[in-house]
Amino acid sequence: MTAALADTIAEVLRPVVGGELPVRLVVWDGSETGPSGAPVVRLNSPDAIRRLLWAPGELGAAQAYVTGELDVDGDLNATLEHLWKVVRDRGLSGIRPTPDQLARVGR
């Protein structure tokens, strides 16, 4: 049995986000993962992953959002506040994915 795409993406992102996903991730194939009560982030295209991994942080997320590759259910401002709190609490400033992590997403 193969893992759902959302679970595979979450596994690759765990080291980048310093642990479990802080959001509920819904992926273009319909699979989802992450805490059920967390804000919902929808990755509508594989291009969203590319943008988020090649330009981690605000730039990649903003590019994916304005192109429609990434959506947020509900209040965007509340989701951003939640994510910035997680970034502060986990000390994630400046963390970038390794080449191995990038390669695993591309498989």
Q: Per-residue pLDDT tens for 25-51?
A: 999 999 999 999 999 999 999 999 888
Q: Per-residue pLDDT tens for 67-92?
A: 999 999 999 999 989 988 988 898 87
Burial of 95 from C-beta contacts in 10 A (0-12 / 13-18 / 19+): middle
What integer pLDDT is reported at residue 106 of this predicted model? Answer: 60
- Domain span at 101: 5-106
Q: Based on the structure, what is the number of domains in the chain?
A: 1
pTM of the model: 0.79
SS (H, E, C) 32-87: EECCCCCCEEEECCHHHHHHHHHCCCHHHHHHHHHCCCEEECCCHHHHHHHHHHHH
26: helix, strand or coil? strand
What integer pLDDT is reported at residue 45 of this predicted model? Answer: 96
Confidence tier at 95 by pLDDT (50, 70, 90): low
